[in-house]
Structure 1
Amino acid sequence: MTERFSEQLNNFDEHNPLEQLIERLKPLHSILSQNSYVKDTTSRLKQIIDDADSQPIVLFLGKERVGKTTVINSLIGRNLLEDRPTEPTRTNTFLKYGNEEYIKAVFLNGMVVTFDIANLSLFTISNTESAQIIRKHLDYLEVYITCELLKKVTIVDSVALEAGANNTAYFSPALLQRCNEVFWVLQAGSPATEAELNFIEKLNKMGITAHLVVNGIDQVDGEVENFLDMEKERYGYFIGEDVPVSALQAQEARNTNSTQLLIDSRITQLSQLMFQLIDNKQKKTRHITERFIQWLERLRIEINTIPAREPYISAFEYVIQHQSDFHSDAAQLQKDKALIDSLDKQYESVSKVFKEVQTLFQLLQTLNGHSYLRDPIIDMYEEMAVLYQKNVRDYRKLHVEYSMEYGQLEKQFKKQTGTSLKFPLEESELTPFLSEHIQTLNKVQKNCEQKLVLIKKYEQFVLEKLDSVQSRLNELVENQLLSIHNQLNELESKRIRERANMTASVNKLAEFNCIAEAQSFIKDALEPLLLERVLPIKEQEKMQIQQTINHLVTVDFTYETPIATEPDEILEPLNLKEKYQLFELRLTEEDIISDIPELPEKIEF
């Protein structure tokens, strides 16, 4: 048993078994209220507690137009509930005592809203569109009025019995279970239908014995006893007490202050029977105990299914699946730090990729070593630039070849003539040797001229595309830096997501800690009481209770919570943009154009 409730459980009347039970149910309800996923079951427990602490509940039920509402109005002594023959009661309505009169509407989602008593017909009989919309989401009404009778009892005006399966009338089992006594209303002279008989038999199997109220005795001219005898012969073994009344006579007696008419209506006999029945405290204790035993079985079923349904199963599986990851955080941290260092170096390298590039040749070398600088535009530019530089080299080689040939010619000429070579030559100076060398020189000059044409062609392309290519290359560098930055962000986001998911899953599972607490409380605080000879519980039921509790507490909600680590140092923001300066490519035409010697002139002779 949890310590926080141990003192509370000692503060009850040990001679009142029902009080002992309820004082144990209140802490159990407090524990279960911490979990929203057993909300409906917890609400049912709250109903048991409230019903045990409140006045006994008496339910009036029957088919349409038998006068249930009129009988209830006669009992409370006022026309509170409208009883139009054409508009049957459409909402189960609990009449309770209150110093102030108002309506409490309890909706299916658990929301409770209060209304002025003047709006009662809107909920109970109105068939307007707005009323239908409200009732679609309404569970039941509680109407609080100042009425002495209601100080001792809560009366329920119910909706009519509905057609059910197997020719058996239907009524809400949940509401039936809440009621201490059930009064079944028939209209005098109108025998019970087969569906009603099957329903009464079904109530008996549920442990509920309904009492028969025959309304309208003033309209059968003294034949009520014969009618009662005939009905009791058909199903008397299924019903308890029987009372013939005239609700209309009771209303008229109240309006006319006629004592004799009130006696004739027999409504007083009905109220006396009702008080006689509800005065049985042992029966109420047994009724509440039965409801709790049934509730306990319901809780067992629900707790048994929790580990196999959402949201528990997803949270539990996530924690188990990722426990090993979080228990090896140190190793994972080293891997992540190594990745961070690698990305950091990549970012630094990319940001400085053009720092030392000052010529076309250096640019081509840089392009050749970095795949992230490739795309069709750059590939075409590189191809033309390579051709440009190749032709420049070829031109220079030809120019050197020309110069060497010209130098040999000069030496040979001076050796033969003793004078320096000057053009144009005199015809007398032209020898076959000179003629041959001049032709060779002119051939090399021609090749140089052709190469120069190609050089100018490629040079023009390289210069024209320089700005656009530089912009594209700078863009590719920025894209690569962004990619690296995104990888860092993704790593950070991944770790954050993992921790957030783990935290969410652990928190989700923590919501079910109260279930484990409830299991312990039921075993330690409730089982001893239920198995002692305090409450009216049969031996067979005790065996069932023991089995139910044993099954209930075997469902394991324990799990190993991952050890939380300090925030990862690698997740500290890395502002690489501020850390590393970006060096953009900024080549000029002078950086691109290669210096080449002038084209030799053709030798004329």
Structure 2
Amino acid sequence: MTERFSEQLNNFDEQNPLEQLIERLKPLHSMLSRNNYVKDTTSRLNQIISDADSQPIVLFLGKERVGKTTVINSLIGRNLLEDRLSEPTRTNTFLKYGDTEYIKAVFINGMEVTFDIANLSLFTISNTESAKIIRKHLDYLEVYITCELLKKVTIVDSIALQAGANNTAYFPPALLKRCNEVFWVLQAGSPATEAELNFIEKLNKMGITAHLIVNGIDRVDGEVETFLDMEKERYGYFIGEDVPVSALQAQQARTTNSSQLLIDSRITQLSQLMFQLIDNKQKKTRHITERFLQWLERLRVEVNTIPAREPYVSAFEYVIQHQNDVQKDAAQLQRDKALVTSLEQQYESVSKVFKEVQTLFQLLQTLESHSYLRDPIIDMYEEMAGLYQKHVRDYRKLHVEYTMEYGELEKQFKKQTGKSLPFPIEESELTPLLSERIQTLNKIQSHCEQKQVFIRKYEQFVLEKLDAVQSRLNELVRDRLLLTHNQLSELESLRTYELSCMTASVNKLAEFNCITEAQNFIKDAIEPLLTEGVLPIKEQEKLQIRQTIERIVTVDFTYETPIETEVDEILGPLDLKEKYPLFKLRLTEEDIVSEIPELPEKIEI
């Protein structure tokens, strides 16, 4: 343990437990930052430190068009985030306090770039090609604005819940784990779907209790309490607090300076609840502690795999090979075996690339993931198939919109006439509002009809070209397998290394010295804090912590002692074709065609 750190320990008794933990994590992060091969793990540790030092994080999530962004705009008191119904939020956005307003874009590779606040819509809702390219590599946004509320809390405007497996909505777990509180936004009058309910139940299993916001209470004619009671009866045991609000009324109150409208919107109740929840410092300490314990387990896996993966394994073997000429042949053989294993795994992967492909969507996903499955013919087919699936998705969305609009028409007609909707509709029974809704329905029906024409057009293309494309793809796979097989065959001739590689290998191993330093620091400085009872850690967890740290520190990164190896025979050829038979792509018309709802009929008057 360094002298500097020993001095810091004297001041720890005056700090709260969370501060003590973070002060010990900072030097650990500094050590690990010197190694690029644990970059992602180090970045996650930095995120824990940053979140612990910053305000509590509150996440707003829900499906599309429930008003998450509008609710957040109402809370911060300005229309900062674009909330167009036609353009949903496409980037997870952290709103933080800043004396100077700007945007920080955090990319997947860890790069951070700042932009003027005026460019916010480019990242959050813009559908231009340049925006799509940027978002493809974007992890999340941090938006710094001057807002008193954000001095106490960081608010996250999230992308909509996505379709997941087993009829359960999906949201990135990494972001969920960062947040201290989660608010689930539901539109008044629109009950939660089964996928949402499964997602809320899944959150509970993760130890996350979401709080419910019912938005749009001004649109349900005073029936919000009935709606809320019905929803709580379905899944109330999975949620925490609930707050009905009207983000629209809150915005109107701000523009009209209406105190009564602000009261009616109940947005103040939401902000009070939010502050009440985040004021629990013990809960935040436990939350950050849990995240660090999860990170510690991730580090254990990382540290334990380093000696068996690149670049460490090649550098280590190369140094050992040259420490003793007697062992040189044996060490080279070990290297060749490692290469054989790698190429064999590559061959196996390519031979099975189409094994699980049973739909057009899975085929497109596979094409995107493997560069060797590319040529002009495949690129054109992929583009047309993508357009086909896009029009199918657009048609389904329009159909859902038509169904919801039609339901509203039925309700209005019954409310007006006391009877069910007849066809054709008598013109004498129409009000201007009903006529307008019918025009909207017929417009949507017309769009559906247009989309159906495009669907049939692209469907015909993908079906006509299917056989030729499958044949070409199978040919590309065979070419790739042949290339890998040839690489394995040539391996026998690669028996020597350039002497200059020795210096590079030694330098590469030196980069892992900081891992050894981190191992000692974790044992001497981190473990005592985790196990001495200062932090909210259970006794059972302490046992697991000791075991985890023991497995971290026992990994040996020294390389002074030569490795004992046995001289083996020259590597023999592998019959990869027999060992890993080729799984050909065999899609049928049924696998390609997407089912779509029947085209709605035009409403006649």
TM range (shorter): 0.5 to 0.7
SS in 1 for 2:214: strand
How far apart are the structure 2 equivalents of 1:215 and 1:252? Answer: 15
Query: What is the aligned partner in structure 1 of residue 65 from structure 2?
Result: 65
Query: What is the aligned partner in structure 2 of residue 232 from structure 1?
Result: 232
SS in 2 for 1:87: coil
How far apart are the structure 1 equivalents of 2:128 and 2:9? Answer: 50
How far apart are the structure 2 equivalents of 1:7 and 1:36? Answer: 29
How far apart are the structure 1 equivalents of 2:318 and 2:11? Answer: 44
Query: What is the aligned partner in structure 1 of residue 599 from structure 2?
Result: none
How far apart are the structure 2 equivalents of 1:495 and 1:250? Answer: 74
Query: What is the aligned partner in structure 1 of residue 190 from structure 2?
Result: 190
SS in 2 for 1:204: helix
| Per-residue deviation, 1:544 | 1.1
Query: What is the aligned partner in structure 2 of residue 591 from structure 1?
Result: none
| Per-residue deviation, 1:559 | 1.4
Q: Deviations over 1:490-514 (max 9, x none)?
A: xxxx99942x322211111110011
How far apart are the structure 2 equivalents of 1:150 and 1:13? Answer: 30
Moved more, 206-215 or 537-546: 537-546
Report if aligned partners of 1:102, 1:114 keep a CA contact under 8 Å in 2: yes
Report if aligned partners of 2:28, 2:521 keep a CA contact under 8 Å in 1: yes
Letter in structure 2 aligned against 1:297: E
**529 and 264 in structure 1: CA distance in 2 versus 1, 3 angstrom threshold:** same
Query: Does 2:14 correspond to 1:17?
Result: no
Query: What is the aligned partner in structure 2 of residue 424 from structure 1?
Result: none
| Per-residue deviation, 1:4 | 4.8
Moved more, 502-511 or 178-187: 502-511
Question: Under a length normalisation based on structure 1, what TM-score does the superposition of the two structures give?
Answer: 0.64
Letter in structure 2 aligned against 1:526: I
Query: What is the aligned partner in structure 2 of residue 517 from structure 1?
Result: 517
| Per-residue deviation, 1:6 | 2.8
How far apart are the structure 2 equivalents of 1:122 and 1:112? Answer: 16
**496 and 310 in structure 1: CA distance in 2 versus 1, 3 angstrom threshold:** closer
Letter in structure 2 aligned against 1:552: I
Greater C-alpha radius of gyration: 1
How far apart are the structure 2 equivalents of 1:159 and 1:223? Answer: 29
How far apart are the structure 2 equivalents of 1:294 and 1:114? Answer: 30
Letter in structure 2 aligned against 1:51: D
How far apart are the structure 1 equivalents of 2:326 and 2:498? Answer: 13
How far apart are the structure 2 equivalents of 1:496 and 1:5? Answer: 44
How far apart are the structure 1 equivalents of 2:558 and 2:525? Answer: 21
Query: What is the aligned partner in structure 1 of residue 157 from structure 2?
Result: 157
| Per-residue deviation, 1:325 | 3.4
SS in 2 for 1:163: coil
Question: Under a length normalisation based on structure 2, what TM-score does the superposition of the two structures give?
Answer: 0.64
Q: Deviations over 1:556-578 (max 9, x none)?
A: 1111089xxxxxxxxxxxxxxxx
SS in 1 for 2:14: coil
How far apart are the structure 2 equivalents of 1:505 and 1:561? Answer: 16
Q: How do residues 558-577 of structure 1 correspond to structure 2 at under 5 angstroms?
A: 558-560=558-560
Report if aligned partners of 1:315, 1:506 keep a CA contact under 8 Å in 2: yes
Query: What is the aligned partner in structure 2 of residue 589 from structure 1?
Result: none
SS in 1 for 2:324: helix
Q: How do residues 399-438 of structure 1 correspond to structure 2 at under 5 angstroms?
A: none
**495 and 544 in structure 1: CA distance in 2 versus 1, 3 angstrom threshold:** closer
Query: What is the aligned partner in structure 2 of residue 548 from structure 1?
Result: 548
**244 and 13 in structure 1: CA distance in 2 versus 1, 3 angstrom threshold:** farther
Q: Deviations over 1:221-263 (max 9, x none)?
A: 1111111111111111111000000000000000000000000
Report if aligned partners of 1:14, 1:20 keep a CA contact under 8 Å in 2: no
SS in 2 for 1:8: helix
**114 and 81 in structure 1: CA distance in 2 versus 1, 3 angstrom threshold:** same
| Per-residue deviation, 1:554 | 1.1
Report if aligned partners of 2:321, 2:327 keep a CA contact under 8 Å in 1: no
Query: Does 2:300 correspond to 1:300?
Result: yes
Report if aligned partners of 1:74, 1:251 keep a CA contact under 8 Å in 2: yes
Letter in structure 1 aligned against 2:267: I
How far apart are the structure 1 equivalents of 2:561 and 2:50? Answer: 38
Q: Deviations over 1:468-492 (max 9, x none)?
A: xxxxxxxxxxxxxxxxxxxxxxxxx
Query: Does 2:50 correspond to 1:50?
Result: yes
Structure 2: state its 5+ residue gaps: 329-494, 563-605
Report if aligned partners of 2:34, 2:511 keep a CA contact under 8 Å in 1: yes
Query: What is the aligned partner in structure 1 of residue 279 from structure 2?
Result: 279
**95 and 319 in structure 1: CA distance in 2 versus 1, 3 angstrom threshold:** same
Report if aligned partners of 1:506, 1:561 keep a CA contact under 8 Å in 2: no
How far apart are the structure 1 equivalents of 2:20 and 2:326? Answer: 47
| Per-residue deviation, 1:8 | 3.5
How far apart are the structure 2 equivalents of 1:228 and 1:39? Answer: 46
Query: What is the aligned partner in structure 2 of residue 88 from structure 1?
Result: 88
Q: How do residues 105-124 of structure 1 correspond to structure 2 at under 5 angstroms?
A: 105-124=105-124
How far apart are the structure 1 equivalents of 2:326 and 2:117? Answer: 60
Query: What is the aligned partner in structure 2 of residue 173 from structure 1?
Result: 173
Report if aligned partners of 1:82, 1:121 keep a CA contact under 8 Å in 2: yes
Q: How do residues 208-223 of structure 1 correspond to structure 2 at under 5 angstroms?
A: 208-223=208-223
Q: How do residues 335-346 of structure 1 correspond to structure 2 at under 5 angstroms?
A: none
How far apart are the structure 1 equivalents of 2:158 and 2:13? Answer: 35
When the two chains are superposed, the root-mean-square deviation of aligned CA atoms in Å is: 1.8
Q: How do residues 165-564 of structure 1 correspond to structure 2 at under 5 angstroms?
A: 165-325=165-325, 497-498=498-499, 500-560=500-560
Letter in structure 2 aligned against 1:523: K
Structure 1: state its 5+ residue gaps: 329-493, 563-605
SS in 2 for 1:186: strand
Report if aligned partners of 1:167, 1:195 keep a CA contact under 8 Å in 2: yes
Query: What is the aligned partner in structure 2 of residue 74 from structure 1?
Result: 74
**40 and 9 in structure 1: CA distance in 2 versus 1, 3 angstrom threshold:** farther
Report if aligned partners of 1:9, 1:24 keep a CA contact under 8 Å in 2: no
Q: Deviations over 1:5-28 (max 9, x none)?
A: 333344445340000000000000
Query: What is the aligned partner in structure 1 of residue 127 from structure 2?
Result: 127
Letter in structure 1 aligned against 2:139: D
How far apart are the structure 1 equivalents of 2:275 and 2:207? Answer: 20
Q: Deviations over 1:68-121 (max 9, x none)?
A: 000000000000000000100000000000000000000111111100000000
Letter in structure 2 aligned against 1:317: E
Q: Percent identity?
A: 88
| Per-residue deviation, 1:326 | 10
How far apart are the structure 1 equivalents of 2:553 and 2:12? Answer: 26
User: How many residues are aligned here?
Assistant: 396
Letter in structure 2 aligned against 1:220: V
How far apart are the structure 2 equivalents of 1:19 and 1:157? Answer: 28
Q: Deviations over 1:293-351 (max 9, x none)?
A: 000000000111100000000011111111113999xxxxxxxxxxxxxxxxxxxxxxx
Report if aligned partners of 1:60, 1:158 keep a CA contact under 8 Å in 2: yes
